[in-house]
Amino acid sequence: MPTTTPQPGGPTPQLFFQTANAYQQTQALKAAIELDLFTAIAEGNRSVSALGNRCGAAERGVRILADFLTIRGFLTKEGSQYALTPDSEVFLDRRSPAYLGSALGFLHAPKFIEAFQNMTEAVRKGGTVAGEAGTVAPEHPLWVDFASSMIPMMAKPAAEIAELVSRIQPAVKKVLDIAAGHGLFGIEIAKRCPSAEIAAIDWPNVLTVAQQLAHQAGVQQRYRTIAGDAFQKEFGTGYDLVLLTNFLHHFSAATCETLLKKVHRSLAAGGRVITLEFVPNDDRVTPPLVAEFSLIMLATTPEGDAYTFKELEQMFRAAGFTRTELQPLPGSLEQVLVSYR
Amino acid sequence: MPTTTPQPGGPTPQLFFQTANAYQQTQALKAAIELDLFTAIAEGNRSVSALGNRCGAAERGVRILADFLTIRGFLTKEGSQYALTPDSEVFLDRRSPAYLGSALGFLHAPKFIEAFQNMTEAVRKGGTVAGEAGTVAPEHPLWVDFASSMIPMMAKPAAEIAELVSRIQPAVKKVLDIAAGHGLFGIEIAKRCPSAEIAAIDWPNVLTVAQQLAHQAGVQQRYRTIAGDAFQKEFGTGYDLVLLTNFLHHFSAATCETLLKKVHRSLAAGGRVITLEFVPNDDRVTPPLVAEFSLIMLATTPEGDAYTFKELEQMFRAAGFTRTELQPLPGSLEQVLVSYR
């Protein structure tokens, strides 16, 4: 990351200007993805003129954009030749299986951008001003985009959680994936645990993404869906494992407790819940990139938050769980909680 | 500045997500300024509940916003009490003479935001798509806001340049301030050099700001204005000093040369030009915050740029100047060039 020029003492307005202009970073990245600049570099177009030809863009435009992306850590520059950083190779070359460029469709959905444009009002109100329920409104169309967009990003955590689940003895049979979204978490478990049958609950428009993915993975025989709201729909009972990935942060602690009680009732003896969450430290300001997540919940949900481990543990205890363990997820900002019935 | 959580090897999509969401930093800062949160903390409201009362905002909103601002380096947090950093005390407390909050009016002018929203098109075209001439269109209303907004930020460089000018022997008499804007650079010189008479050229709507400031500084007797375009208007001749502060970066090198030839003709024997500019190194990617400035010129002007010292020196030489010296400006991202007739 770029550092500020050392200041010989005295106050400096640089942080103010950097932050006031931070939106420009977002727009530069968006332009590079729209022009497919990263893929063009990966293909071997390393000079301004080659990139201009390949991207259909003016040399002045390409030069200034590529320099900016170098400054921001997406590219390297050697003389007048640009190259991708290792991270950009994996996530920003369109031909890479982990390509993330399409996630901008969700991350920059007009509803999201609008929620942040009304940040002042959201702070006054203490919750989103983007409609009554923000992005947690039933069947909000955002979540279909989200489901598809997040697949490359969630591949690694999903594989790691499946690995963890595959070590559980006796092997898990009945698995409930709450707010399954793209379905990746349940599907990865189905792939690694031949005895596992997955029930995925989500809004019907989102479930089509999960069903497709289950089919592609060849696990559709052990994959069924429950269309509807996780707070309303009957889960059934006898589950060995319930997945709660990236779900609790959308709701208040009281709402989470209500849901967890319902989850508790659905578990078989010896059953457990695996939760994936952004879990800041008790100070709520570290680790920075984890603690920052709260702001998104303020802007886009009525009562959501990034909860500390203490808060999450307390919710699970109040819902009847005997103990909750925290487990870091290598390479991810999120952490896994395992809660035992 | 927040650092990323150390990753145990392997590629990470964090930079992508941070940058895709960077616009949220801008919105959080804007909300804090609109709610006057920094002033509220400076007044002694240090807890979430005191801040909520003072700012008329919900506690959840204030807590999440203040935590975010702590993460981003604007505040400190001790237990549940917030405090301003030294920089925030100087620049973000509304009662401070160096208060910068009002600069958002200019920095976030719809024309600017719109120019960046069309970044992809600007890269394709190689220049702004915000109207034919972008922000350098004659009498663009932005510059009136700009003139007022930049006063707190330019106070220190203006004082330092005036200090430098006050040491010139024999003392400067005739000074021309090109694209004077707020007028601060000429006015500071008038204050420190009793023999100096300032002629300030800018569009008429902008000059009203400079005239007011000259009056407040009590130098109006030695302050005259030339209303019009710096490329069109006659400068007159016999100037000991010409000021070119934050002007050249708006234009192509060829256009700059044309202007510099005109400037050269207006100088007396022994006369010199003082230029204030963002001057990146030859690699165009360091120092980061200086080199980044090019992107703003791409988005908002047809042909502007942040020029290297070599490029600037070449422009001055081509316009007839005998030599150009670079002089760093302590505490500023910009540098001063002194060019001799």
pLDDT at res. A134: 60
Tokens 């207006």, located at residue:
B266
The pLDDT value recorded for residue A1 is 33
Distance (Å) from the C-alpha of residue B67 to the closest C-alpha of chain A? 6
Per-residue confidence of chain B (341 residues) as pLDDT tens digits? 333 343 456 788 889 999 999 999 999 999 999 999 999 999 999 999 999 999 999 999 999 999 999 999 999 999 999 999 999 999 999 999 889 898 888 889 888 899 999 999 999 999 999 876 566 565 566 677 777 777 777 888 999 999 999 999 999 999 999 999 899 999 999 999 999 999 999 988 889 889 999 999 999 999 999 999 999 999 999 999 999 999 999 999 999 999 999 999 999 999 999 999 999 999 999 999 999 999 999 999 999 999 999 999 999 999 999 999 998 888 788 999 999 99
Distance CA A63, CA A81 (A): 10
Min distance A130 CA to chain B CA atoms (Å): 15
Residue whose C-alpha is closest to residue B92's, from B29, B154, B48: B29
The answer to whether the Cβ–Cβ distance between B87 and A123 falls below 8 Å is no
Amino acid in the structure at residue B26:
T
**Cβ contact, residue pair B19, A7, below 8 Å:** no
Contact A5 B290 (CB under 8 A): yes
DSSP A58: -
A13 interfacial to chain B (CB closer than 8 Å) = yes
The CA distance from B182 to the nearest CA of chain A, in Å, is 19
pLDDT value for B14: 87
Does residue B288 sit at the A interface (CB-CB below 8 Å)?
A: yes
Q: Which residue out of B7, B12, B21, B290 would a mutagenesis test of the A interface target, given it has the greatest number of A Cβ atoms within 10 Å? A: B21
Q: Quick check: B279 contacting A, CB < 8 Å?
A: no
pLDDT on residue B147: 73
Dihedral over Cα of B279, B281, B285, B290: its sign: negative
Per-residue pLDDT at B5: 41
**Could you give the CA distance from residue B20 to residue B24 in angstroms, rounded to a whole number?**
9
Rounded to two decimals, what is the model's pTM? 0.90
Verify whether the Cβ–Cβ distance B61 to A122 is below 8 Å.
Answer: yes
Q: Which tokens is B227 given?
A: 């209303």
Is the minimum CB–CB distance between B192 and chain A shorter than 8 Å?
Answer: no
Written as one string, the DSSP assignment of A279-322 is ---TTSS-SHHHHTHHHHHHHHSSS-----HHHHHHHHHHTT-S
Identify from A64, A100, A333 which residue to disrupt to test chain B contact, counting B C-beta atoms within 10 A and taking the largest count.
Answer: A64
Contact B292 A153 (CB under 8 A): no
Separation in Å, CA of A80 to nearest CA in chain B: 8
Q: Which residues of A touch B56 (CB under 8 A)?
A: 124
Burial degree of B139 (CB within 10 A; 0-12, 13-18, 19+): middle
Nearest-by-Cβ selection for A285 from B71, B104, B107? B71
Residue % of chain A over a pLDDT of 90: 79
Distance from CA of B61 to the nearest CA of A (A): 4
What tens digit of pLDDT does each residue of A58-107 get? Answer: 999 999 999 999 999 999 999 999 999 999 999 999 999 889 898 888 88
Tens digits of per-residue pLDDT, A308-321? Answer: 999 999 999 999 99
Please list, in sequence order, all residues whose beta carbon lies within 8 angstroms of the beta carbon of residue A217, skipping any fewer than 6 positions away.
Answer: A187, A190, A191
Enumerate residues 6+ apart whose C-beta is below 8 A from A295. Answer: B24, B28, B64, B65, B68
Give the closest residue to A225 by CA, choosing from A210, A238, A215.
A210
Instruction: Tell me the residue ranges of DSSP E strands in B142-297.
Output: 174-178, 197-202, 223-227, 239-245, 267-277
Q: Which chain A residue lies closest to B75 (C-alpha atoms)?
A: A285
| pLDDT tens for each residue of A287-297 | 999 999 999 99
Structure tokens at B221: 């007797």
- Determine the distance in angstroms separating the CA of A225 from the nearest CA of chain B, rounded to an integer: 30
Residue B3, token pair as written in the block: 């650092």
Is-contact B76 B6, C-beta < 8 A? no
Band (pLDDT 50/70/90 cuts) for residue A7 is very low
Please give the sequence-ordered ranges of beta strands (E in DSSP) within chain B, or none if there are none. Answer: 75-78, 81-84, 174-178, 197-202, 223-227, 239-245, 267-277, 323-328, 335-340
CB B149 within 8 A of CB B208: no
Q: Give the C-alpha separation, B138 to A160, whole Å.
A: 59
First to last CA, chain B: 44
CB contact under 8 A, A289 and B2: yes
| Mutation target vs B (from A4, A70, A120, A296; most B CBs, 10 A cutoff) | A120
Residues of B in contact with A303 (CB under 8 A): 60
Q: Could you tell me if B285 lies within 8 Å of chain A, comparing CB atoms?
A: yes
- Residue B11, preceding peptide bond in cis (omega within 30° of 0): no
> Cβ contact (<8 Å) for A294 and B124?
no
Are B284 and A19 a contacting pair at CB < 8 A? Answer: no
User: What DSSP string describes A120-181?
Assistant: HHHHHHTS--SSSSGGGSTT-THHHHHHHHTHHHHHHHHHHHHHHHHT-SSPP-EEEEET-T
A97 touches chain B (CB under 8 A): no
User: Given an 8 Å threshold on Cβ–Cβ distance, is A27 in contact with B116?
Assistant: yes
Report the C-alpha gap between A240 and A267 in whole angstroms. Answer: 6
Q: What is the CA radius of gyration of chain A?
A: 22
Q: Please tell me which of the candidates A13, A29, A104 has its beta carbon nearest to residue B91.
A: A13
Buried b (16+ CB within 10 A) or exposed e, B140-154: bebbbbbbbbbbbbb
- Token pair belonging to A222: 């052990």
Put simply, the answer to whether A35 touches B64 (Cβ < 8 Å) is no
